[in-house]
Amino acid sequence: EDIKRAAVLHDLGKVGIDKSILSKEGPLDLKEREVIKTHPAIAAEILREINGLKGSIPAILYHHERYDGAGYPLGIKGEEIPLSARIVSVADVYQALTSDRSYRKAYPKAKALEIIKSESGKQFDPKVVKVFLQVVKKIDAK
């Protein structure tokens, strides 16, 4: 339940980010990227006082950490990243890749899965990627 809630609320902190940054069509500059990086902490702060959502905060706060340690906000890596955040990270990127954005069209599902596979062990936990791909395959088989 905590992961499900985190998956829905992980970008809540973007309510504190200027719309001109969120809807910018071109690449963000360094200052704008630093502003965007504050959205997980903003979301965690908003949710901190809601007892029923406290269990979702680690996934929300750390969903932009990378398995290789190159993420944010703390630059933690591997198993240091809460499992819930590693799961939300893969789901978030898949949803982002398969959705139209102000700066690009949605990728086809096969291309999105290829990108996720290529980031296994770098951006994403390889075990989470493996299970994610199995789930997607099972859903496609239905």
Q: Could you report the per-residue pLDDT of 88-141, keeping only the tens digit for each? A: 999 999 999 999 887 788 999 999 999 999 999 999 999 999 999 999 999 888
Residue 142 is predicted with a pLDDT of: 81
pTM for the model stands at 0.92
Does position 16 have pLDDT exceeding 80, yes or no? yes
What are phi and psi for residue 101, nearest 5 degrees? -125, 165
Residue 61 is predicted with a pLDDT of: 97
What are phi and psi for residue 59, nearest 5 degrees? -65, -40
What are phi and psi for residue 135, nearest 5 degrees? -65, -45
Residue 141 is predicted with a pLDDT of: 86
